[in-house]
Amino acid sequence: MPRSRILVVDDEEIMRSSLSDWLIEDGYDVLAVEDGFHALERVKQEEWDLAVVDLKMPKMDGLEVLKKMNKIKPKLPVIIITAYATIDSAVMAIKEGAADYIVKPFNPEEISIVIAKLVERQRLIKENIRLRRALAKRFKFQDLVGKSPEMLKVIEMIKTVAPTKSTVLIRGESGTGKELVARAIHELGPRKNFPFIAAACGAIPETLLEAELFGYEKGAFTGAVSQHKGRIEMADRGTLFLDEIGDISPKTQVDLLRFIQEREFQRIGGKTAIKVDVRIIAATHKNIEEMIAKGEFRDDLYYRLNVITIEIPSLRERKEDIPIFAEHFLEKFSLDTGKTVDNISDEVMKILIGYNWPGNVRQLENAIEHALVVSQEPEIKVQDLPQYLITQEDIRDEIKPTQSMSDMERRHIAHVLKAHGWNITKTAQVLGINRITLYKKIKKYNLKKDKDTGTRP
Amino acid sequence: MKYIYLKTIGTMETSIVEDLKRSLSLLIPFSLRCVYDNEYPLFAFEPERNQYYAKKIIVKLASEIPHDCEKLIAITDVDLCTPVLTFVYGEAQLGGKVAIVSMNRLEKEYYYLPPGNTTLLVDRLVKECIHELGHCYGLFHCHDSQCVMFFSNSIFTIDNKQKRFCMKCKEFFERQIGKEHNHAEK
Ligand SMILES: [Zn+2]
Ligand SMILES: [Zn+2]
C-alpha cells in the first residue's frame, strides 16, 4: 500500500518541522510549505490525501486557503489548526468545508485518531473511484456498456448470432443503442472486413429512400445526372443496417421484401439484376405487431426480418448500468474536451439513478456532455446538470422540521418506487417491508405511477 | 566497539537505570553504557507550558556525542513536549543518533501500584527506549498494536504493547543495523 500523502501549511518554521517530523514518524509522506500560494500550487499539481492548514497566516489565511483548495480538489479533506480554541473560528472552518478543526498543541491521542480517520476515509473514496473505473472498463463490450442481467443477455445474443448470416431485428426504445448492437454483430462476425452500411430509413424522405437504397441509372429521373450506387450495393459482402424500419412506405416495403427473397435487385431505371451478398440487420422502436394489425406494415416482410429478435432493455429497466454508463461517458468526453473532470459527486449519481430516462442512453450521454461543458471543477456537481434533472421533484427535497412522519413516509415510498420504475418486489426489498405492506401503503397514500413515456409494446 | 549510551538527565534513580540497562541488554544486540548527568536542561524549558522541548535537548546532545557511541538514549524525569503535541513520552532523530525518553508520565500513572515495585515502570521505559531506538534506525510507526513501534498516545497503548518488534519491524531493524555498519566500515 503506498503511503498516504499529507500537505502541511504553516508560516512558522518550528511548527512545520515539528508537525512533519511527527507525521513522518507516523508513516506518512509529508511536504510542508510556508504559505497558501505554495500550497495551492502543490494541490493543483499533485495528488494529496490530506491537507493540514494553519488558520493564522499572513498574506493568505487558513480559511482562504481552505476555500481555494475546496475549489481545486473538492474531495481533499482539510484540517484547520489554530493556536487558541475559539468557537467562532471553529464554526467558520467547518462551515467553509474543513474536515476537522484542532487546537495546537495537539493531544497526541486526538491528533493521531483524527488524521488516521481522515486518511482512511480518503483511501476508501479513492479505492471506490478506482473500482468504479475498472468496472466501467470491464463491462464494456464492443462499446456496449453494462453489467445488468438484461444487458448481459443482449451481449450473449450478439455473440450467438454474429457468426451466422441470419437476419436480425433489433427492438428497443429510441436512444437505447440499437446501432451499437448492429455494429457489434457486424464486428464480431466473418464480415467484419467488409462494409457496415447504415440507412436511417426514418430520417430519409420517402422519395429519396428508394434511390438511397437501390441506387439509380443515369437519367432514371430528373436530376439523375450520373449512375449512383445504392446502399444495398455498397454493403456487398458486408452488413446492411436498416434503422427505423417501421417508418418505410408500403411501396418500399414491397421492394425490400423482393430483394430479401431473391437477394438481387435493379437500380432505379436499370434493366439488369444485380446480385449482392449482404447480411441484413433491421431495427425499430415501433410496435410492429400493432402496425401489422392496422395494415401499416407487411406481415410477410416482418417475418423475413424477424428471424432473430434482440430486445434492448430501456435504461430505466437496468438502473444498475447507469453509473457504468456515466463513468464511460465522463471518460469519453473528458478525452474529447481535454477537461480533467474525473469524478461524479455522489449526489449527482443519486439523481442520475433516480431519473427515468425516457430518452435512454442517448439522453444520459447528452446530460453528461452538458455537465462536463458546464463544470468548472474536477468533479461534476448537481448544478452542472441539465435543468430538467435538477428540478426533478422529491429527490432533492430536504427534510423539513415541519414534516410529519407520514408525510415523510409518503415521499420516501414515492421516491423509492420511482427509482425502481415501480418494480414492487424491488421497492419492497429496498424499503425492508413485504409486498403486501407496500401495496397497502401505495393505496393509503394514493400513489400513482407517472405516465410511461416509452413506446414499447 | 560501539555502545548504546544511556544518559540520565535530571533526577533518575540509579536502581531504575540499572534495571533498565539490564532489560535492554537482553533485547537489543548491543552493549550498553550508562552516563549520569543530574543537571536539568533549562535551555529547553518552556515556562508557558511548564514543560521541556524534546527537540532542543536532542539537538544539544547530538552536538556532544561520544566517539564510541552507536546511539544515545537520554532518560529524564522532566515532562517533554513538542511545539505541536501537548506531551510526548519520547522523541528521536529519525535515522539519527539521539533519542530521549521521559519517565515523567510513565511514573505519574504508576502511583497506584504497590510502593517499591518498579517492574511496571521499567517495563514501560524499556518499551519507549526500544521504540525511540527504532526511530533512530529509521523505523516508522507500525500498525500492529502489539509491536513496540506502535505509536503510544496513552499509557494504555504502552502497557498493551510488547517489548519487541513485530516480524516485519524486526526484519527492517536488523537490515538497518547491517546497512549502517556496512556504511561505517567503508
Ligand atoms: Zn514513535
Ligand atoms: Zn511492527
CB contact under 8 A, B151 and A14: no
Residues of B in contact with A25 (CB under 8 A): 92, 94, 135, 140-141, 151
Residue A262 lies in a domain: yes
% of chain B with per-residue pLDDT over 90: 74
* Minimal C-alpha gap between A419 and chain B (Å): 42
| Interface membership of B94 toward A (CB under 8 Å) | yes
CB contact under 8 A, B86 and A108: yes
Q: Are residues A259 and A309 in the same domain?
A: yes
Give residue B184 CA to ligand 2 midpoint distance, Å: 26
Q: A392-411 as b/e, with b when 16 or more CB fall inside 10 Å?
A: beebeeeeeeeeeeeeeebb
Q: Which CATH number fits the domain that encloses residue A293?
A: 3.40.50.300
**Residues A362, A174: Cα–Cα separation, whole Å:** 8
Task: Concatenate the DSSP letters of all residues of A87-119 into one string.
Answer: HHHHHHHHHTT-SEEEESSBPHHHHHHHHHHHH
Residue A374 lies in a domain: yes
The three three-digit cell numbers of residue B157, written as one number: 497503548
Give me the number of domains chain A comprises: 3
Quick one: pLDDT at residue A440? 86
The three three-digit cell numbers of residue B20, written as one number: 533498565
Quick one: pLDDT at residue A457? 38
Nearest CA in chain B to A112: B153
Task: Identify whether the C-beta of residue A344 lies closer than 8 Å to the C-beta of residue A380.
Answer: yes
Rg (Cα) of chain A, in Å, rounded?
Answer: 30
Summarised one tens digit per residue, pLDDT across range B149-162 is 999 888 888 989 99
Q: Are residues A167 and A80 in the same domain?
A: no
Q: By residue range, what is the domain housing residue B114?
A: 3-185
Q: Are residues A163 and A301 in the same domain?
A: yes
Q: Which ligand is nearest to the CA of B142?
A: 2
CB contact under 8 A, B141 and A107: no
**Residues B22, A381: Cα–Cα separation, whole Å:** 63
Q: Are residues A75 and A111 in the same domain?
A: yes
Q: Are residues A373 and A328 in the same domain?
A: yes
Higher pLDDT, B76 or A455: B76
* Of the residues A258, A283, A313, the one at which a domain ends: A313
Quick one: pLDDT at residue A138? 65
| Interface membership of B145 toward A (CB under 8 Å) | no
Q: Are residues A76 and A121 in the same domain?
A: yes
Task: Identify whether the C-beta of residue A267 lies closer than 8 Å to the C-beta of residue A217.
Answer: yes
Out of B132, B174, B180, B185, pick the active-site residue: B132
Task: Identify whether the C-beta of residue B81 lies closer than 8 Å to the C-beta of residue B52.
Answer: yes
Q: Are residues A167 and A295 in the same domain?
A: yes
CB contact under 8 A, B84 and A27: no
Ranges of chain A whose pLDDT falls below 70: 1, 85-86, 134-143, 338, 392-403, 450-457
* Minimal C-alpha gap between B60 and chain A (Å): 16
Q: By residue range, what is the domain housing residue A411?
A: 317-451
**Residues A370, A373: Cα–Cα separation, whole Å:** 5
A25, A104, A108 ranked by CB distance to B87: nearest = A108
* Of the residues A313, A337, A371, the one at which a domain ends: A313
| Interface membership of A26 toward B (CB under 8 Å) | yes
Residues of A in contact with B153 (CB under 8 A): 107-109, 112-113
Give me the number of domains chain B comprises: 1
Residue A91 lies in a domain: yes
Quick one: pLDDT at residue A395? 46
A18, A24, A109 ranked by CB distance to B82: nearest = A18
Summarised one tens digit per residue, pLDDT across range A61-84 is 999 999 999 888 888 999 999 877
B72: how many CB neighbours lie within 10 A of its CB? 25
Summarised one tens digit per residue, pLDDT across range B118-140 is 888 999 999 999 999 999 999 99
Residue A240 lies in a domain: yes
Q: Which CATH number fits the domain that encloses residue A20?
A: 3.40.50.2300
Quick one: pLDDT at residue A381? 87
**Residues A375, A383: Cα–Cα separation, whole Å:** 8
* Of the residues A265, A282, A313, the one at which a domain ends: A313
Q: Are residues A169 and A297 in the same domain?
A: yes
Quick one: pLDDT at residue B78? 95
Q: Are residues A309 and A434 in the same domain?
A: no
* Minimal C-alpha gap between B43 and chain A (Å): 16
3-state SS of A74-86 is CCCCEEEEECCCC
Residue with cell 494529496: A48
Q: What is the pTM of this model?
A: 0.57
Q: Are residues A44 and A97 in the same domain?
A: yes
**Residues A60, A233: Cα–Cα separation, whole Å:** 70
B132 classed as catalytic: yes
Quick one: pLDDT at residue B110? 58
Q: Are residues A116 and A69 in the same domain?
A: yes
CB contact under 8 A, B141 and A104: no
In a mutagenesis test of the A interface, which of B53, B57, B84 is the best target, namely the one with the most A β-carbons within 10 Å?
B84
Q: Which CATH number fits the domain that encloses residue B9?
A: 3.40.390.10
Q: Which CATH number fits the domain that encloses residue A377?
A: 1.10.8.60
Residue A141 lies in a domain: no
A26, A105, A109 ranked by CB distance to B141: nearest = A26
**How many Å from the N-terminal Cα to the C-terminal Cα in chain A?**
53
Residue A457 lies in a domain: no
Summarised one tens digit per residue, pLDDT across range B78-111 is 999 999 899 999 999 999 999 999 999 988 665 5
Q: Are residues A157 and A304 in the same domain?
A: yes
Q: Which ligand is nearest to the CA of B165?
A: 2
